Amino acid sequence: MSALSLSEAATSTGAHLLGSDFPATLRVVTDTRTIVKGDTFLALRGERFDGHAFVRDAVAKGAAAVVVDDPGVVPDAVPALLVADTKRAYMDLAAAARRAFAGRVIAVTGSAGKTTTKHLLAQLLARAYGRERVLSTPANENNEIGVSKLLLQAQPQHEVLVIEMGARHDGEIAELVSVAQPHAGILTNIGDAHLEVFGTRERLARTKWGLFSSGAQALLNARDSESVLRAAALPAPPLWFGAGEPDVPGVWVCDARTMLIWQSGQFVPYTIDCELPGEHNRANLAAAIAGALVMGVDAQTLAPAIARLQLPEGRYQSIAMASGARLIYDAYNANAAGMIAALDAFAAERARRRIAVLASMAELGAQAPAMHERIGAHAASTGVDALLVGGDFASSLAAGATAAGLARDRIVPFETNADAVEWLRTHAGPGDAVLLKGSRKYRMEEIVSGVRSPA
């Protein structure tokens, strides 16, 4: 945990100091469950909680000081930093911790693949630097709270920080970048995620492009049309990455056995062993390799490490079903690009029958029906033997599949996850492969629990 001096903390947040006997250095935490004696508790406000209600609990557990924006909750004789807004103060403290960090910082964002890319990059860096010298965003804690938390967790032994950045409102990536000040930034792609929130694709693209607002070296997907269009506006040329046959100099994962890296004016081939499914994951791997190269790791070190890489939990995860079928759980989240990528990877699965179970996507606004029809049509084009459709736009998924030629009797709507479980128990058998893909909103892990083989 980064420790800031009292003067650093007060200056960075503009705090008014209440009381005396402050600790000489402040180790800031926001969760009373993790407090150790001497910590400083910062009371965050959220949609479903208010940390100010836990100030007394934090003090009872050993907090030596608190950061609040409501002085009325501070117990007598407890030193406090009174700020205008605790979330803003948390980000300001994180920015101070970042200024004190002597290592390298790389950030990852994009409409799809950012968590997977971050996870792969952290593994590659850990092989080169040592696990204890690399700190990366856990799970998908990629908002202003998660980014601030990671920066405040940096220790002197850390040499590289890998920070995932997500966006739920216009301009958010630039806000996170102003705190994290990354040396390099990976933009996996600019798709159609969260259009209900952003309103237009242009606003979404502009927000994602905020990754480079503080001068970070740009690492861009050569197959992403929006990135190709905007690259000319960068102050320095980007490092390109991609999957398949190379279009431009950069980093390319051509197939499961070959990667090409542009070095000294030519492509240098490296033999790899890549077990990651789907072209989209080869693109994520290429992004991670590019990130590792920029962070100072040589290609000879990276190539043998690829065979040991693992995807994050919930990404194309293979699970045995009680019926003897094989379940592929890829429902950590869903947007159009991710749905298409998962269906394409599923099309390459060797199976007696391929059954796709698709829930709906979320936060697409007025474009939602048309985009779900597109996904349904794509599912049909991949040759699935059966298509289960659920969620708010199940009818649009079905309509798209029907229009693309999938017989109506092979399309099965399901109202609840329990309905899907019952159908799969009855119809999916040995040799079959089943894909689960949909928004987290629909809790498709319930289907996993209902059909998986007992351990």
Which candidate, 252, 251, 254, 214, places its Cα nearest to that of 236? 214
Q: Taking residues 275-299, what's their average pLDDT?
A: 96
Q: Residue 263's beta-bridge partner residues? A: 266
Which candidate, 168, 3, 12, places its Cα nearest to that of 90? 12
Structure-block tokens of residue 337:
């690009």
SS3 content of the chain, % helix, strand, coil (to 5): 40, 20, 35
Q: Taking residues 288-306, what's their average pLDDT?
A: 97
Domain map (residue ranges) of the chain = 3-86, 101-308, 317-451
Cα gap 388→236, rounded to integer Å: 47
Q: Is the pLDDT of residue 221 over 70?
A: yes
pLDDT tier at 195 (50, 70, 90 boundaries)? low
pLDDT single digits (tens) 395-421: 999 999 999 999 999 999 999 999 999
Q: Residue 17's beta-bridge partner residues? A: 81
Residue 199 is predicted with a pLDDT of 64
Q: Say if pTM beats, i.e. exceeds, 0.85.
A: yes
Residue 28 is predicted with a pLDDT of 96
Q: Taking residues 342-352, what's their average pLDDT?
A: 95
pLDDT single digits (tens) 307-318: 999 999 889 999
pLDDT single digits (tens) 128-158: 999 999 999 998 899 999 999 999 999 999 9
Q: Is the pLDDT of residue 127 over 70?
A: yes
Structure-block tokens of residue 381:
């084009």
List, as one string, the DSSP characters of 361-417. Answer: --S-GGGHHHHHHHHHHHHHHTT-SEEEE-STTHHHHHHHHHHTT--GGGEEE-SSH
pLDDT single digits (tens) 7-61: 999 999 999 999 999 999 999 999 999 999 999 999 999 888 899 999 999 999 9
Residue 203 is predicted with a pLDDT of 85
Q: Is 281 exposed, middle or buried (0-12, 13-18, 19+ CB in 10 A)?
A: buried
Cα gap 312→163, rounded to integer Å: 15
pLDDT single digits (tens) 228-285: 999 999 999 999 999 999 999 999 999 999 999 999 999 999 999 999 999 999 999 9
The structural architecture, per CATH, of the domain 3-86 is: 3-Layer(aba) Sandwich (3.40)
Q: Is the pLDDT of residue 74 over 80?
A: yes
pLDDT tier at 455 (50, 70, 90 boundaries)? low
The mean predicted confidence, pLDDT, of the chain is 94
Cα gap 361→444, rounded to integer Å: 12
Cα gap 205→189, rounded to integer Å: 9
Cα gap 33→447, rounded to integer Å: 31
Q: Taking residues 79-84, what's their average pLDDT?
A: 97
CB 119 within 8 A of CB 311: yes
Cα gap 109→95, rounded to integer Å: 19
Higher pLDDT, 420 or 203: 420
Q: What is the three-class DSSP state of 291?
A: helix
Phi, psi of 251 (to 5 degrees): -115, 125
Q: Taking residues 194-220, what's their average pLDDT?
A: 86
Q: Is the pLDDT of residue 197 over 90?
A: no
Residue 169 is predicted with a pLDDT of 85
H-helix segments, 141-263: 144-153, 172-180, 195-198, 201-208, 225-230
CA angle 288, 207, 282 (to 5 degrees): 20
Cα gap 26→22, rounded to integer Å: 9
Residue 361 is predicted with a pLDDT of 93
Task: Annotate 71-95 with b (16+ C-beta within 10 A) or e (fewer).
Answer: eebbeeebbbbbbeebbebbbbbbb
Residue 193 is predicted with a pLDDT of 63
What angle in degrees, to the nearest 10, is found between the helix axes of 144-153 and 172-180? 10
Percent of the chain with pLDDT over 70: 98
Cα gap 74→52, rounded to integer Å: 9
Beta strands 411-413; 250-253: pairing state: unpaired
Amino acid at 263: Q
The topology under which CATH files domain 101-308 is UDP-N-acetylmuramoyl-L-alanine:D-glutamate ligase (3.40.1190)
The topology under which CATH files domain 317-451 is Protein-Tyrosine Phosphatase; Chain A (3.90.190)
